[in-house]
A and B are shown apart, each in its own frame.
Chain A
Amino acid sequence: MLRFILRRTLFGLLTLWLITLAVFVLFYMATPGDPALMFAGEFATADQIAMVRARLGLDQPVHIQYLRYMWALLHFDFGMSFVNQEEVLTTILRRMPATISLALGSVGIWLLVAIPAGIFSARRSGQASDRLITMMALAGMSFPTFVVGTLLFYVFFFLLTNAGFPVFPSGGFVPITRDPGEWLRHMLLPWATLAVVGTGTYTRIARGSMLETLNQDYVRTARAKGLGERRVMYKHALPPAMTPVMTLVGLDLGGLLGGTIITERIWGLNGVGSLAVQAVETGDLPVIMGTVLIAALFVVLANLLVDVLQALRDPRVRLG
């Protein structure tokens, strides 16, 4: 088991290193325009620009620049923002609460809906109720997030508020530590925005996985032994059927923690995703690279965690 974890960790580190390389090549080297010019601002003199260039190490050869960049990354130093001269890591950490609230809440909602719906659908496969759930799930999957967000905004903020029921705010984020009630009120619509697509997708996955498990020989054996339907369902079939679902949840959660651009933008949540967009709009290269790298870190960590958890449950994974 230890060997498996070690191997997977090494592999994760390798992937992460390749991603830093990709980010360096894509953004640092290939950027049209001079980063020193962006950093120094448009009114800087030639001397000031040269000074900035020297301070950022931009006058060094590419491989030296890369080594310095990697050395800094190894110390969790993502550099300074061009725009407000703040440490990139500090900025990102300040944006994390909104992104974490959004990710955990919406994943929670979609699992609470999708797993029961998927199981229900699998048990009645081919019947009218299964078809109805399948159609609803496919519809959910087909909704682009920005369309869901825009429609929810229109109906639950605009129409409701105009009708004299200002139940939901138009957006913004309130930290849970400041006011849990307001936090919830501000998060419900963003959660719903993100949960529609997730619920559709996971209902399909849960249904498929459950159906496959129910067709296994050991489930038939359990039935043949005369076990009650409830026991067969929840003790024998459910745990293995949920394994692929949990794997995907881990991966999706890793992706969401890296920032959800569209939902954060529509609902004015100051998370990592909207930070990335702002950085893009202002050409703040260190922040762009920092947000991409942090997001990649979450994905790689989620991958690692999911693999290890699966190996703990299933010896075939760690030996295979």
Chain B
Amino acid sequence: MSDIPASTVHPAPPALNTRQRVISQLLRDKAAMAALTVIILLVLTAIFAPLIVMVLGHGPNEQFRDIGLTPGGVPLPPGPNFLLGTDVVGRDLLARLVVGTQITILVAVTCALTAIAIGIAVGMLAGFRGGLIDTMLSGFVDVVLGLPLLITAVALVSVYGASFPIMMGTIIFFTWGPVARVVRNLVVATKEGEFVDAARMLGASDLRIMVREILPNIAGQVIVYGSLLIPQVIVLEASLSFLGLGVPPPTATWGGIIAENQTNYAVAWWTILFPALFLLAATLAFNVLGDGLRDALDPSSERRTK
């Protein structure tokens, strides 16, 4: 490559601290900003779900067999009364999707945060202390990763029954291990830094070094990992619901709505298309935002030369 990136020729811009630099970089990333907008909209939908349902005037589990179905018993397409149409038993699809948004966001955020919290705690301990704890952790993560995720999840949920806590527990069980492994490797790479030696010489305790010195240094990468974990959790939850092993019906979830309507694709395409769009919007938004965050946090990122 013969052309030199313009930024290496110009004098260095005024020094910004890392947070300012990341934020200004992110603000210039149009795709990431669009993704953030979608996420904010979804979160607002989740927060105001009861209100939206009230305005719609149709409960999410209310069956309108008289006005929600054609005389022949076929779901209604999108129209003035039911904005996104109705499903196979005459329920308002939009109301169900709104409530589904609430559940999805709740599950995704709770599971991802829990998995990350466990992963950080265990990963930091293993990376910092090393030795037996490290070996045991690595062994445990290997075992969890060795179990086939969906098959084990399906088997677990079936044995213990489909319920909210079992589903969340299953999701967390399968997601904290990789986080712990990532954190452990980051800590191993970070703990040899001179700033750690300096803190130790000043008499800082292990806990203080872990929380005050090492954690801020790896926080960026953990945030990126976390934002990429959320779409994985959403997909996992939707897949379990799709297989009938997630949140039990009649509670609406995106995956569950697709599963309920899978057999009437021929007469009611909207019952599959709209939940699929909601699902895709959410996973894509989090993936794009995570990607943008990674670019913004990575000093060697190639996009910054533009």
* A residues whose Cβ falls under 8 Å from a Cβ of B: 14-16, 18-19, 22-23, 26-27, 30-32, 125-126, 131, 134-135, 138-139, 141-147, 150-151, 153-154, 158, 211, 215, 223, 255, 258-259, 261-262, 265, 273, 276-277, 280-281, 283, 288, 291-292, 295-296, 299-300, 303
Subset of 24 A-B contacts with CB under 8 Å: A15-B139, A15-B142, A19-B147, A26-B159, A125-B302, A138-B284, A138-B287, A139-B284, A142-B231, A142-B283, A143-B283, A150-B258, A150-B272, A154-B269, A255-B149, A258-B151, A261-B150, A276-B151, A281-B158, A291-B148, A292-B147, A292-B152, A296-B147, A299-B148
User: Is B280 interfacial (CB 8 A cutoff)?
Assistant: yes
Q: Are B139 and A146 in contact (CB under 8 A)?
A: no
Of all A-B residue pairs in the complex, the 4 with the closest CB atoms, nearest first, are A295-B148, A142-B283, A142-B284, A280-B158
19 new A-B contacts, CB < 8 A, other than A126-B306, A215-B300, are A32-B159, A126-B305, A138-B291, A139-B280, A139-B284, A142-B283, A142-B284, A144-B255, A261-B151, A261-B243, A262-B243, A283-B158, A288-B158, A292-B152, A292-B155, A295-B151, A299-B147, A300-B146, A303-B142
Residue of B nearest to A280 (CB): B158
Name the A residues within 8 Å of B26 (CB-CB): none
| Total A-B pairs, Cβ < 8 A | 134
Residue of B nearest to A151 (CB): B276
Smallest CB separation, A276 vs chain B (Å): 5
Main secondary structure of the interface of B (DSSP, over half): helix
> Given known contacts A296-B148, A299-B146, is B156 in contact with A26 (CB within 8 Å)?
yes
Distance of A144 Cα from B265 Cα, bound (Å): 18
The contact of A211 among B145, B279, B283, B302, by CB within 8 Å, is B302
Main secondary structure of the interface of A (DSSP, over half): helix
Q: Are A261 and B235 in contact (CB under 8 A)?
A: no
Name the B residues within 8 Å of A144 (CB-CB): 235, 238-239, 242, 255, 279, 283
Q: Which of B130-162 contact A (CB under 8 A)?
A: 139, 142-143, 145-152, 154-156, 158-160
Residue of A nearest to B2 (CB): A223
The contact of B239 among A22, A255, A262, by CB within 8 Å, is A262
Name the B residues within 8 Å of A125 (CB-CB): 302-303
Smallest CB separation, A147 vs chain B (Å): 5
Q: Which of B165-211 contact A (CB under 8 A)?
A: none
Q: Are B155 and A146 in contact (CB under 8 A)?
A: no
